[in-house]
Chain A
Amino acid sequence: MTHSMKLVAGLLLVLVSGLTFLTSGGCSKPSEAATGGISPEKFADGVHAVMMADRTVYARDVVTRLKDQEAPVKPDEYWEKWKEGDTHKMPLPAQMFRMGASLVNDNPDAGFKYSLKSLWPLNPEHKPANEDEIKALKFLSDNPGKTYTDTITDPDGNELFVKYYPDRAVAKACWECHNNHERRDMDAYPEFKKDDVMGAVVVFVPTK
């Protein structure tokens, strides 16, 4: 290689390195490489914003609206199981959310997973599974408007960035249904009202 060729190669190397640095925002952690240069937290914030927008629209502009109109289509926990008579049922907002989560969680190309958790779940499957989750959910409840982050290792040995977002009562259908549900706890259960934190949306992003 001639001297001039070495010089050109050196300049190219500097240029490529500089571009890489600039486009990655100056960060070079392996976790960011896995998410295309976006930090796991930023990525989680983005997908959470989409989730909550869809969920809010469904709860507020579909379910609550149809209920207020006394429409023949009704939200029902067993919407898929009723086969007789009035079968005009639709999923509850939480079910709609979980159905979307199922599709994403089963999609290996999605690159992330998400879930619902609550200290006061109507479905016991969504209660916190360990002390760390209890701590996170209590933090959200005690600090309205705040989020909570953590890192965990799943049973397959994958390292995950975890972010807990407050899940609020955005529409009348939310608190009316939860407050009057037959499975609600009679003693240790809040009377929810608008904007109360009812639980958490938890986003899991693999970091390695």
Chain B
Amino acid sequence: MSVKHQWILWMIVTVCLLAYFTLSLTRQPGGMAQTFLPGVTTHGHYQIEMQCLVCHTPGMGVKQESCMDCHGADLKRSTDTHPRSKFTDPGKMHLLTKLDARHCTTCHQEHVPDRTLAMGLSLPKDYCWHCHQEVGEQRPSHADFAYDSCATAGCHNYHDNRALFENLLVEHHGEPAMLEKQLVEPRNFGDSWQARYSESRKTLAAEENDAPEGLGYDEQISTDWAATAHAAASVNCSGCHTSEELEWTNHPTHESCGACHDSQVAGFLEGRHGMRLAQGLSPMTPSAARLPMYATNGHAELTCSACHTPHKYDTAYAAVDACVKCHADEHSTAYLDSPHYDLWQSELAGEGKPGSGVSCATCHLPRLKNAEKETFVQHNQNDNLRPNEKMVESICHQCHGLQFSLDALADEVLIKNNFQGEPEVHVESLDMAKHWFDERARLREEAKQKREGG
């Protein structure tokens, strides 16, 4: 090859490479953007890692507001113990030299798998110590604890301590493992919907469906629909199958569902099942998951319909069967042999009281109350996980004592076998809080008597 040809070849290769990398950066979402991933993305973000500009500026800086766009509401709900405002308080400006927690990225850096701990933490585990090293003086029981042991199960979390504040611990000290009631909140969305529209709504029969003529659908569909809460609430075919432009669609999206079930869809889009849809990407599939999944359903697309079978909307199916057909991890497979599943079966068989069964959804898609005191199902299954003590307040403590709940959630073996057995771990926080409160009460009484006596 002549020198001239070598130069031409070099130029062609250079132009092609330049075009390839430029396209990689500018196309959003772009398959080629993976070229620029600086490292493996964390479990929380990898699903949307190709949407670089969700988190990054065009110059590949990190947008602080992007963290709060997705996590702000959750932090607010959890009454964040270390909000940004704690570090914008000028009275605590000295803390900024130890930990500039005004920026999420001080603790949570992305694409650094070699130093990323659970919950996306990229700081060494001793970060608590830098500001709280005097804790032993305030709490003598803490004096001998290891400097990196604060954020362990049942003790403290950086952000979410809603189930761990000391007054709650003391209030529930000494509770039995099983509480008396052992029932979860009943769902009441249908009732409140009916109450809201009772004057204009009536139960529809199968033949009253308003599907367009000539659609050629299976008759079973209208039979199934007529048996649902949708028909009972006078929600006809067009209620879900008509787009904003009033055009018929055979495949309603989560936006159709969200027109009535806004809280549920909002949670779904925040969680692992819907976060790709929230960013305008294709739906998540089990094959793309990092958790073990059954290959048979690997390519199922996670839309609302994936769990809520269209036209039947069987919530019992969505609460267990829909989960276990995909999730193949130890915890999920063990559920079918667990006492919780036995309770679920009893409730379905009519032997147990309504609300006495414990399905997958009972714990991972819990029933919460909105501002109007209506019960709704939180469809962000990560809302009460990581740290799992978040589950105590909304779920475990409805049936189990606080000590038992914290012990069980700290026991890795018990989590894996889906709570078949008793906790082998004992979380000391309740005993410590009780002891401290008792001791303080004694000292206060002593001081009072001393004042009155002298």
Contacts and interface: CB of A to CB of B under 8 A. Distances in A.
B443 interface: yes
Given A81-B165, A155-B97, A105 B443 contact: no
Contacts of B79: 80-81
Interface in B422-454: 436-437, 440-441, 443-444, 447, 451
A182 B437 contact: yes
Interface in A34-52: none
A129 B90 contact: no
B101 to A, nearest CB: 12
B91 A115 contact: yes
B83 interface: yes
A178 interface: no
Nearest to B84: A106
A186 B90 contact: no
Nearest to A128: B91
A3 interface: no
Nearest to A124: B138
A154 interface: yes
Contact of A129 (B83, B84, B91): B91
A202 B93 contact: no
Nearest to B398: A84
Interface in B71-123: 79, 83-86, 88-94, 96-97, 100
A40 to B, nearest CB: 14
A82 B167 CA distance: 9
Contact of B90 (A77, A84, A184, A202): A202
B300 interface: no
Interface in A148-203: 154-155, 160, 180, 182-184, 186, 191, 202
Please indicate which of the listed interface residues B92, B93, B100, B447 has the most CB atoms of chain A within 10 Å of its own CB: B93
B168 interface: yes
Given A81-B168, A130-B94, A105 B441 contact: no
State the main secondary structure of chain A at its contact with B: loop
A49 B451 CA distance: 36
Interface in B146-165: 161-162, 165
A95 B84 CA distance: 16
B88 A182 contact: no
Contact of B440 (A80, A117, A154, A182): A182
Contacts of A117: 91
Contact of B451 (A183, A184, A191): A191
Contacts of A114: 90
Interface string B224-248: 0000000000000000000000000
A84 B171 CA distance: 11
B88 A105 contact: yes
B157 to A, nearest CB: 13
A90 to B, nearest CB: 15
B451 A101 contact: no
B329 interface: no
Contacts of B97: 155
A149 to B, nearest CB: 15
Contacts of A204: 90
A102 B90 CA distance: 10
A113 B90 contact: yes
B174 to A, nearest CB: 16
A195 to B, nearest CB: 20
B441 A155 contact: no
Given A155-B96, A182-B437, A105 B447 contact: no
B314 interface: no
A143 B79 CA distance: 38
B83 A102 contact: yes
B162 A105 contact: no
Contacts of A105: 85, 88-90
Please indicate which of the listed interface residues A80, A105, A114 has the most CB atoms of chain B within 10 Å of its own CB: A105
Contact of B134 (A124, A129, A183): A124
Contacts of A59: none
Please indicate which of the listed interface residues B89, B134, B441 has the most CB atoms of chain A within 10 Å of its own CB: B89
Given A81-B162, A182-B437, A102 B89 contact: yes
Interface of A: 77-78, 80-84, 101-103, 105-106, 113-117, 124-126, 129-130, 154-155, 160, 180, 182-184, 186, 191, 202, 204
Given A81-B165, A155-B100, 6 more contacts: A83-B393, A105-B90, A106-B84, A125-B86, A126-B91, A183-B138
23 contacts: A78-B167, A78-B168, A80-B79, A81-B79, A81-B168, A84-B397, A102-B83, A102-B85, A105-B88, A106-B84, A106-B88, A113-B88, A114-B90, A115-B89, A115-B91, A125-B86, A126-B91, A154-B93, A182-B444, A183-B440, A186-B447, A191-B451, A202-B91
